[in-house]
A and B are shown apart, each in its own frame.
Chain A
Amino acid sequence: MSSNTASSSAATAGSGDSSAARKNSKRPKYSKFTQQELPACKPILTPGWVISTFLIVSVIFIPLGVISLFASQDVVEIVDRYDNDCIPAPARTNKVAYIQGGGDKACNRTLRVTKRMKQPIYVYYQLENFYQNHRRYVKSRSDSQLRSPKYENQISACKPEDDVGGQPIVPCGLVAWSLFNDTYTLSRNNTRLAVNKKGIAWKSDKEHKFGNRVFPKNFQKGNLTGGASLDPDIPLSEQEDLIVWMRTAALPTFRKLYGKIETDLEMGDTIHVTLQNNYNTYSFSGKKKLVLSTTSWLGGKNDFLGIAYLTVGGICFFLALAFTIMYLVKPRRLGDPSYLSWNRNPGGR
């Protein structure tokens, strides 16, 4: 076949044949994609670009830093560590025995308000060295059981706090079992400050994760008591302490919302706290703190964001400056062929 066409092409060699040849042509079709000529932006990190990027970043970051720092500065926070002080001096040699023993563990603390605190004032407890993010701890819960009474028996993940004598525990698992049980009673000038314990959990948790028809069962009935017990007549969706606790913390030092004080506190006020020091953090030398804090639009006291913004903005500004100076002092002409490696050492191999 090809020999035939070839001979004919050789014979006629030209006009008529060329069109046929074109039809048969294997010439690739032109497209920007296949020829790798897609329109593209070719950014070159020229000094101008570098410097202006730094400037832009600093121009955006510094104001943001100032804003968030201001927001953070508005927040008034009172932190009181009480785990050690709330053990009576004689019992301090064996704190674990004290905490595990019976008896009244009431403890009085005094807090001084250094700055006016506008309501709402949030009461937090802060635990340290408590691995709420431990693998065994995190997985020891049953979300479906929490949501609906239908799944009461889905307790496989909850070991070792899964059942009591074959009866499923609701809510099961280590997380619920170790529910925090210190309580705080606050008063100012002998007037009791009401602590509102409603609305401390995320709404979505309350509405979607904890069922309003799920009631605690067999809770804290095992050999060991981990923490607080729950009122079996209140559905889980109303047990906000539990809901807050069950949103496990990311780090071993964490705060959890205890309640809200819906009264302003004035500067110089003295707050008396009567607390029940029930929760055992002494086994693992964890710290316990009580925190009173106001919030800003950005949340609680959080200097980190502001400082980070300011630092980065500042560094960028400094870098912009440094690069500019460098550019002025020792400029490198853009596209100077003498920088090409083969021009620097000619003949080099």
Chain B
Amino acid sequence: MVRSGYLSVDSSTSHRRTPSRTVTLGHIQPQAPTYRTVYCNDRDSNMPVRFKGNSISTTKYNVFTFLPKGLFEQFRRIANIYFLGISCLSMTPISPVSPITNVAPLSMVLLVSLIKEAFEDWKRFQNDMSINNSTVEILQEQQWVPIPWRKLQVGDIVKIKQDAFFPADILFLSSTNPDGICYVETANLDGETNLKIRKALERTWDYLAPEKASEFKGEIQCEQPNNSLYTFTGNLIVQKQTLPLSPDQLLLRGCSLRNTEYIVGAVVFTGHETKVMMNAMNAPSKRSTLEKKLDKLIITIFCVLVTMCLIGAIGCSIVTDREDYYLGLLQKPDWEYRNRFMIGFFTFFTLVTLFSSIIPISLYVSIEMIKFIQSTQFINRDLNMYHAETNTPASARTSNLNEELGQVEYIFSDKTGTLTRNLMEFFKCSIGGISYGCGVTEIERGIAQRNGLKVQEEERSTGAIREKGFNFDDPRLMRGAWRNEPNPDLCKELFRCLAICHTVLPEGDESPEKIIYQAASPDEAALVTAAKNFGFFFYRRTPTMVYVRESHVEKMGKIQDVAYEILNVLEFNSTRKRQSVVCRFPDGRLVLYCKGADNVIFERLADGMDDVRKVTREHLENYGSSGLRTLCLAYKDLNPATYDSWNEKFIQAKSALRDREKKLDEVAEIIEKDLILIGSTAIEDKLQEGVPNCIETLSRAGIKIWVLTGDKMETAINIAYACNLINNDMKQFIISSETDAIRNAEERGDQVEIARVIKEEVKSQLKKSLEEAQHSLHTVAGPKLALVIDGKCLTYALDPSLRVTLLSLSLNCTSVVCCRVSPLQKAQVASLVRKGAKKITLSIGDGANDVSMIQAAHVGIGISGMEGMQAVMASDFAIAQFRFLTDLLLVHGRWSYLRICKVVMYFFYKNLTFTLTQFWFTFRTGFSGQRFYDDWFQSLYNVVFTALPVIVLGLFEKDVSASLSKRYPELYREGIRNSFFKWRVVAVWASSAVYQSLVCYLFVTSSSFGAVNSSGKIFGLWDVSTMVFTCLVIAVNMRILLMSNSITRWHYITVGGSIAAWLVFAFIYCGITTPRDRNENVYFVIFVLMSTFYFYFTLLLVPIVSLLGDFIFQGVERWFFPYDYQIVQEIHRHESDASKADHLEIENELTPQEARSYAISQLPRELSKHTGFAFDSPGYESFFASQLGVYAPQKAWDVARRASMRSRPKQLPKKK
């Protein structure tokens, strides 16, 4: 250690010299690429390096860049580019329309989008300002001086008071607490509400008072700013001593100080270089499948446009004739009409401009608005998805995917925390080959019930202890009775292992009743609670000591406090799947306690324990099949000499700057061997409320549910049974790596050989299963199929050569269970189905290990309100309970899908209808491209006269009520089949558009040929076109009412309003003249029209005739080819869906048991690392938003902002 310290001093001094020397030469040398050097309390020395300031800016624009950048963003949309092009075209003389026709709608759309952007950015700016201006105290001339955050610089010594937020990433120097520790809350970073301990280096403990602190002149060498929250390597050089730094000394911006009066620290990273800000990046945004199909539709429309223009161009070049002298082609030679080819060429573009309205410019904006309201108003505020116990409403974190929820066919679900409660209760244990604990799990009960057995409720012995995390009763162990068991020593070791080998923090009073354990996972808390109930009460932890109040150890009834010195903690991680503690007993005995996954422990056992091992394995399998989570415990006595030599290696590894993790793992491997097996523990993991029902509903909806879990195969299968995913009527294919062939190969130990054997085995099993599956599919009433596969086999099955087989097999199965899978495999399975089968997938999970899967699927759902928030942060929707999937998918998803389909179809229809009337007219103008409508009519058609009703449709359309949607889950299949967005549907709408445009155009033009009033007057072009336009606006708006399944008063208001808006506009527009050279074509036209009877006769006839076609179609369709939803509507046509609100009130009343679980759920909880299969994810965001009542921080800057903003109003007076 000493040597390494010297080495780094050398390197550091050389570092120090280089910049200072170059500075004197007037050059500023850039920092060495891998390290940054910070001189504490010395602004001048830090000056040359020019660290970034501490002010943050999360705005996208500033005053100058707003317009160019904002416009650029807008024009990244292809539709806007298209309209920009059209607008440019319409400035040229070939355009039949004035530029306003295309510029007006485009600017309207751009304006709306830009205002939205500006508003959002303004809010961000205000937040930034308030953050940057909050104050922090820094050390200046031996005094604490408050300055705003933005003036903070790297190297400053700052003082942070209790409950305040850290303004930057700070190196922790000293604290008012003894032992130089402080507590931080990281809820804003990772959503974990338990307190974390940070510990200052012993060397810096004294720098607390301002006078003393100003003497501190240290030099920090540390890594360059990066986004890894949980790592930090560096050295602190104080008085030529080099001290290794670890994440333990780093206080991250965004966290807050708790239970500590104040701390003093040195600023290391500032502003945008802090870890939290470095992490602030946008999750890749997902686009819904429907939207991608919409693109195809748009392309098709574009092709239609080109065809129409080609027809017109060819027509024009044929028809145009110089003999039409009245066109003035003889007078002056005209570039546009030089020859037939030129005529066709220019006419093409003329027509493109004329027909540009076929592409619905406001479609995207409208859809965005609809989806935004859907997610913020409907999904986020649905009382049916509000979980009262955890006080968590549903939260749509993106509004892009609402309609995707209506088409999900595959659900990938995590097990723990999602299907099960992650409410861990110590249930059974096995010690030295004897199994203890006499409870019956719910799953066992379920299995028994399915097998038709009666389950006897075992009488609990009176006084059985039941508390959170402990549901164990066995008189053989309780109250010291273990002393009489065959292996009392092993029992003692087990209890000690439970009480010592963990990373739990006790909080509150040091009495067994009042203590609260802050644990990294509920399993750990359950285990420590178990130890407490067995008489080994862990009540206090200091950085070096663990205090346990042991009962009945030496003799019955004797209670003694024992202090164990914790020498090393070999921490849990996903590769190790175990955790060890080296401790020194008061009598000097050195023991290593280890707990971990069974296979990891069994590999490391000392020889000669085969009997116990075998029995324990049996017990483990039993526990597993009862749905219990198991851990193996082992210990080992250490020889002081071997320990010392090992410890040296350990310390070296610990202070390594590079690959510290890996080195630590290697060192741990050295000592964690030749263990003595104590036994195993079993923890019950309860099913979430309503899971079996929900799964049944979803499978009736045609959704296939796959469970992907890190748990053992037995546990997974049993959970699947308990959830109704698998039952005995199903044919099960089990592909497991636990076959004899594979075991034999494993015993031989050759890696290559093992791989080959497993691959062969998997291949043959897959082939065989697939054959059987296909066979049973061909038989008429073949059983449903289920596939169970474990992670090891999955590795090989996901191999490109076998992937297809796996896919076709699994697609034939109604349920699939993958167990022992890693997070990566979860993601692979999701993307296998997503990409391979092209089906719409949904992943739901609660933990960090589900993040990759959540991101890989089309829709990611996080379970919120319970655990850490990584999953929620990565998700697109967050719900509190698995069972809310029913509401989210069957109600919101289905409706959204239906609505968006209808909106898109309607947009398509209304623009096509409009443009087609123009097209028909073109045939009668010699294909000249004369516009039919006035410029303003055409430009406002989309953005005013037909804009609102379709939005109302997109918000309020309901085919059947929410309760019926859930009662008839099969209705959901229409979404899976994509019934409402097929080319067939498009064709129906297109023919409707053709029909209506023909009716509007032909009826008006043919009837308006002669005199139109009693004084023999004749209509001109603009009278006719205004007539057509009026009919069109009425017909198109009324179509909304015809296609709605549920007509609210908003429908009436907007439809009536749109028609009225047209009339009002016409009155005003036709009534004014301007001095500008405006085409006053339509001047007075509407008044002329309305002075004739003809107008009213046509107005009644044309819209009704044009709607009649659709009416007949709908009537016939409903009569002969009814959709399912239509039948359901008919079944329940006399029911009203009122009084739903009352139900809700009743549902939210808490029963005593619910109240208890509410209280429990309010307990602090941390990220689960359930038995070896929870992985720390590098992707992190936080879920503090729920605390503020602000949901879904969609953007990264929100994370950073809230991370820094959260404060406690109550504490404010205290500070002053």
Contacts and interface: CB of A to CB of B under 8 A. Distances in A.
B1019 interface: yes
A19 interface: no
A340 B970 contact: yes
Given A300-B1011, A308-B1101, A334 B1164 contact: no
Given A1-B185, A280-B325, A300-B1012, A46 B1130 contact: yes
Given A3-B193, A37-B1137, A157-B1077, 15 more contacts: A3-B194, A3-B1164, A7-B1164, A14-B1155, A33-B377, A42-B1045, A61-B1104, A174-B326, A202-B1084, A249-B1018, A249-B1020, A252-B924, A252-B925, A300-B1010, A302-B1094
B327 A131 contact: yes
Q: Which A-B residue pairs are the 3 nearest by beta carbons?
A: A300-B1011, A335-B1130, A300-B1010
Nearest to A9: B1162
Interface in B1116-1143: 1118-1120, 1122, 1124, 1126-1133, 1137-1138, 1140-1141
Interface stretch (B549-557, B684-692, B1000-1008): B1000-1008
Interface in B1002-1060: 1003, 1005-1021, 1023-1025, 1044-1050
A81 interface: no
B1067 interface: no
Interface string B429-468: 0000000000000000000000000000000000000000
B1011 A299 contact: yes
B1079 interface: yes
B527 to A, nearest CB: 19
Nearest to B930: A135
A26 B516 CA distance: 26
Nearest to A37: B1140
A349 B1010 CA distance: 61
A295 B1013 contact: yes
B1014 A34 contact: no
B1016 A250 contact: no
Nearest to A77: B1010
Contact of A251 (B1005, B1104, B1186): B1005
Contacts of B1164: 2-3, 6-7
B126 to A, nearest CB: 24
A28 interface: yes
A144 B1014 contact: no
Interface of B: 96, 163, 185, 187, 193-195, 258, 321, 323-328, 330-332, 350, 377-378, 380-383, 386, 388, 391-393, 507-508, 514, 516, 518, 702, 781, 895, 921, 924-926, 928-931, 956, 958, 962, 968, 970, 973, 1003, 1005-1021, 1023-1025, 1044-1050, 1073, 1075-1081, 1083-1084, 1087-1088, 1092-1094, 1097-1098, 1100-1101, 1104-1105, 1108, 1111-1112, 1114-1115, 1118-1120, 1122, 1124, 1126-1133, 1137-1138, 1140-1141, 1144, 1148, 1155-1156, 1159-1160, 1162-1164, 1186-1187, 1189, 1208
A29 B381 CA distance: 7
19 contacts: A3-B194, A3-B195, A21-B391, A26-B391, A42-B1129, A46-B1130, A50-B1111, A64-B1101, A133-B921, A134-B928, A135-B928, A136-B328, A154-B1077, A255-B1018, A284-B325, A299-B1013, A300-B1011, A339-B1127, A340-B1124
Given A42-B1129, A308-B1003, A226 B326 contact: yes
A205 to B, nearest CB: 8
B1018 A256 contact: yes
Nearest to A341: B1124
Contacts of A132: 1021
A133 B930 contact: yes
Nearest to B508: A7
Q: Which of B381, B382, B1017, B1111 has the most CB of A within 10 A?
A: B1017
A203 B1010 CA distance: 18
Nearest to B1184: A2
B1014 A296 contact: yes
B420 to A, nearest CB: 22
Interface of A: 1-3, 5-7, 9-11, 13-14, 21, 24-31, 33-47, 50, 53, 57, 60-61, 64, 68, 120, 122, 124, 130-140, 142-144, 147, 151, 154, 156-157, 159-161, 174, 177-178, 199-202, 204-205, 208-209, 222-224, 226, 244, 247-257, 260, 280, 283-284, 293, 295-302, 304-305, 308-309, 312, 316, 319, 323, 326, 332, 334-337, 339-342, 347, 349
Given A157-B1077, A248-B1020, A299-B1010, A134 B925 contact: yes
B615 to A, nearest CB: 39
A229 to B, nearest CB: 16
Given A46-B1130, A300-B1010, A340-B1127, A6 B1163 contact: yes
A250 B1025 contact: yes
A54 to B, nearest CB: 9
Nearest to B925: A133
B930 A299 contact: no
Nearest to A145: B1077
B1007 A308 contact: yes
B185 to A, nearest CB: 7
Given A40-B1048, A284-B324, A335 B1092 contact: no
A26 B1186 contact: yes
Contact of B1108 (A57, A154, A295): A57
Contacts of B324: 131, 134, 283-284
B1009 A251 contact: yes
A334 B1131 CA distance: 7
A36 B332 contact: no
B1097 A57 contact: no
B958 A36 contact: yes
Nearest to A41: B1047
Q: Which of A9, A124, A138 has the most CB of B within 10 A?
A: A138
Q: Which of A25, A36, A244, A247 has the most CB of B within 10 A?
A: A36
A42 B332 CA distance: 64
A63 to B, nearest CB: 12
B1162 A255 contact: no
B972 to A, nearest CB: 11
A41 B1048 CA distance: 6
